[in-house]
Chain A
Amino acid sequence: MHSDRASVPRARRKRLRIERREARFAFLLLTPCLGLVLALESFPVILSFFLTFQKVSLGMAGMTFEFAGLNNWLQMFSDRILGPILLRTLYFTGLDVGFSFLVGLGIALVLNEDFRGRSLARVALILPWAIPVVVSGRMWSLIFHSGFGILNTLLIKLGLINSGILWLTDPHYSINTVAFAQIWTHFPLLALFFLAGFETIPQELYDAAKIDGASRWQRFRHVTIPSVRNIILMMLIITTIASFKVFDMIYIMTMGYADTMVWYFNVFVQSFKFLHFDYGATLAYALFVAILVLTAAYLRLFPIRER
């Protein structure tokens, strides 16, 4: 008995030792790959942060740097175009996140019901998200074409307008038009996640609520929403970040003209059009800080809860 008891910890120690060695070896195998990923990820992050405190000159030797202190950061406050760009970015993000959520949630609720062709509808749902943005951007540009676009033609034929609306040229419409196209590409992903969340809610919860006399709306509010709360929060964060970082749709549809220049697009224009890599990097970091603050605020307001 005694010898048996003594041999157990020894065997366990031996096993632990072997496991540790295996873990070390596994880590060793992963080190080059991790190192490479870390270097590739961290290099641009560190370099762009460094750029925010430099005056960058471009020449044959690539970039040359001169310490500029906080000049780039201070320039943001005197930049006369930045105020309107900030407001436009917030407006665009609000539209995109708000409508993507509403539409995504609505579609997910419909697709959660039992009806003929539900599987087909679920597959079709993914299409707008699966289509490359270049294609969907071009497609919407054609639909909103002021001269030959389907939308204007239809509205004129219906007698609702006399002449084509400048969907992508007139600053009154253009940001909303681009936001519409962006929502179209965003909502399927949200709907898909909501749908996945809905399917994990036990039917018993709905049955119990029904017995308690809960109406359809009350079941939705007190059973469905709390059950997918964490998914909502994660999707809120992801969609907000994606909206702040909108680039491709604007590049394709308006190139940032007609009051559609948002913050992230301005980073591109400043860096790669005007060749102000220092100021572009500063704007990118300012956006990063804003997203960080917003994400923290989301998490504080709606902390993730254990189910």
Chain B
Amino acid sequence: MREKKLTTSKEVTRRDYLKTVGVGVAGLVVGAAAGYLAKPTEVITGPGGVTTTVTETVTTGAPAAKKPEFINVLTEDFEPLSSFVASKFKQRYGVDVRLTVTEFTPCHEKEVADMVSGAATSLYDVACWADPFTRTFARRGYYEPLDDYIAKSEVIRLDNMQGPWMGPAKYQGKIWGLPFHCLDMQLTYRKDLLAKAGYDRPPATYQEILEYAKKLHDPAAGVYGYTGDWYDDNFWYNFRRRIFAAGGRMFNPDGSPAFNSDAGERALQWFKDMWQAGVVFPETLRTYSGGVNNKVTAAGKAALSFCWSWANMTFEDPKLSVIQGKYGFALNPYDEDDPDKKKSCAAPVSEGVGGAITAKSQNKEWAFKFIEEYLTYESQLYNVTNLGLTPVRRDVFSDPETKKWPIFDLDRQQLDNYPTDSYPEPHSLSPVGVDFEIIRWNSEYFHKAILGNISVKEALSTVEQLVIDAQKKA
């Protein structure tokens, strides 16, 4: 009997199979080789002095670039603002914008993944920029310096830019990110409750905040004396504001930690005193998002709070707020113990959230045009009128629409008084880019001190030591 022909049920012979696999493998090899040979390899030196090999030509924006069909944008910014800007950009230039809008932490993770992929082109033309990102990404060459683009821009004039954003945006003398608006906080208070308690003015010092909060705390009415966002990087911002007011600083000019000081102790002790007085909304220690904090305030659950400027729109909306017409806002307080009685300061995140151009973007000029679109007069005014976001352009502060909201005049004062220039270092983040270590250990150990699990001194020393360890490793 003849041996049965060896086939699969679909009559694929071994020869067919091998032919198919062989052609496939050969195709892959040829494709990979062609792809490799098509891109000239170039060695460039990154801004941190790190020499890297890339398979693209890095341009600094002088020649007119070919118009792309679309650009990819990763932003942490408010979706309505980004969508507005994207639609304006499309109208103006006919270029689509593919937006990825996500939160701070996922933004950081996405940028890390994009950076370490080693791919020839970046996933994003415009990446989210925030102050802890500058050193992480600029140092490693992921961002493109913006100075040349800014110099040629007809929209962006640095002398027309409000706020102390430039310090955190700078690295090795260059600007790596531009803000879309200023993010700052004000002391927000319930006018009705203060009047009922016999106060005719808001607290002006941190010590007064504690005193007021104790008196305003009313468990029977479900009102806490104070609510805040003391978690993760927001706690870091809160602590920075507090230590600045106490006359301290986070880092010495040489980059070594400076927060383990008398001012640091006074600052942390204030958080502890507030907490231990039992007048703080309990989720304050778990509230990462300023939005949650604002919701608690809007729900009438707190008498005092530090709220982001954009929350004022929420407080005025009767659908979202029970404190409509009952709240007031004031300059951020100073510290009674501060010998210089420093002017009050805004949250040190006043540079806001912004955008950077990725060094491997194929559409750098268009990416910059998109960033510019955020900074047009029209977009900045849209911030004010539709979102309650503090503008970053000085001229927009004088617009009649902006002047309708007294909060923005207060914001301007705070931003003008921000103590950046009082310090030798350009900003308060670590010069060697260990910002995320600092944020984590700061929140972790300072919380323990606030809860009374360890002493204030021990918390400051531990975090100082961890930061020194991290800096050594970096």
Contact = CB atoms under 8 A, between A and B. Distances in A.
Interface of A: 14, 18, 21-22, 25, 28-29, 32, 57-64, 80-81, 145-147, 163-164, 166, 168-172, 255, 257-258, 261, 269, 272-277
A273 B46 CA distance: 22
A59 B52 contact: yes
Contact of A146 (B14, B108, B231, B283): B283
A178 B427 CA distance: 37
Nearest to A269: B440
A276 B283 contact: no
A61 B52 contact: yes
Interface string B45-79: 01000101110000000000000000000000000
A275 B440 CA distance: 14
A275 B46 contact: no
B282 A61 contact: no
A14 B172 CA distance: 78
A147 to B, nearest CB: 4
Interface stretch (B204-212, B331-339, B464-472): B464-472
A6 B46 CA distance: 80
Given A61-B54, A147-B282, 15 more contacts: A18-B3, A29-B8, A60-B115, A60-B360, A146-B282, A163-B282, A169-B451, A171-B451, A255-B232, A257-B444, A258-B447, A261-B444, A273-B440, A274-B436, A275-B112
A202 to B, nearest CB: 42
Interface residues of B, number: 54
Contacts of B46: 59-60
A273 B436 contact: yes
Interface string B264-295: 00000000000000100111011010000000
Contacts of A269: 440
B447 A257 contact: yes
B281 to A, nearest CB: 6
B286 A60 contact: no
Contacts of A21: 6
B123 interface: no
In this complex, the member of A81, A172, A275 whose beta carbon has the largest number of chain B beta carbons within 10 angstroms is: A275
Contacts of B109: 272
B286 A168 contact: yes
Interface stretch (B136-144, B153-161, B377-385): B136-144
A32 B20 CA distance: 12
Contacts of A275: 112, 136, 436
B456 interface: no
Given A25-B14, A61-B54, A145-B283, A257 B443 contact: yes
B285 A169 contact: yes
A147 B283 contact: yes
Contact of A80 (B54, B141, B281, B465): B465
Nearest to A277: B116
A171 B17 CA distance: 61
B21 interface: yes
Given A29-B17, A257-B444, A62 B282 contact: no
B52 A169 contact: no
B398 interface: no
Contact of B359 (A14, A28, A60, A274): A60
Given A60-B140, A274-B437, A169 B447 contact: yes
B386 interface: no
B80 interface: no
Among all A-B residue pairs, the 3 with the closest Cβ atoms: A62-B118, A146-B282, A60-B141
A60 B466 contact: no
Contacts of A258: 444, 447
Nearest to B470: A274
A272 B46 CA distance: 22
B447 A59 contact: no
A178 B14 CA distance: 56
Contacts of B451: 166, 169-171
Contact of B50 (A59, A81, A166): A59
B440 A58 contact: no
B360 to A, nearest CB: 7
A14 B301 CA distance: 86
A271 to B, nearest CB: 9
B240 to A, nearest CB: 19
B102 to A, nearest CB: 15
A28 B231 CA distance: 56
B118 A63 contact: yes
B466 A80 contact: yes
B140 A58 contact: yes
Interface in B420-466: 434, 436-437, 440, 443-444, 447-448, 451, 453, 465-466
Interface centre among B118, B141, B282 (most CB of A within 10 A): B282
A222 B118 CA distance: 60
A259 to B, nearest CB: 8
9 contacts: A18-B3, A57-B140, A58-B112, A62-B117, A80-B466, A147-B296, A166-B451, A255-B232, A276-B473
Residue in B219, B296, B360, B473 with the greatest tally of chain A CB atoms within 10 Å: B473
B278 A163 contact: yes
A139 B108 CA distance: 26
A166 B282 contact: yes
Given A257-B444, A276-B473, A63 B466 contact: no
Contacts of A168: 286
B52 A64 contact: yes
A22 B6 contact: yes
A146 B309 CA distance: 26
A275 B281 CA distance: 34
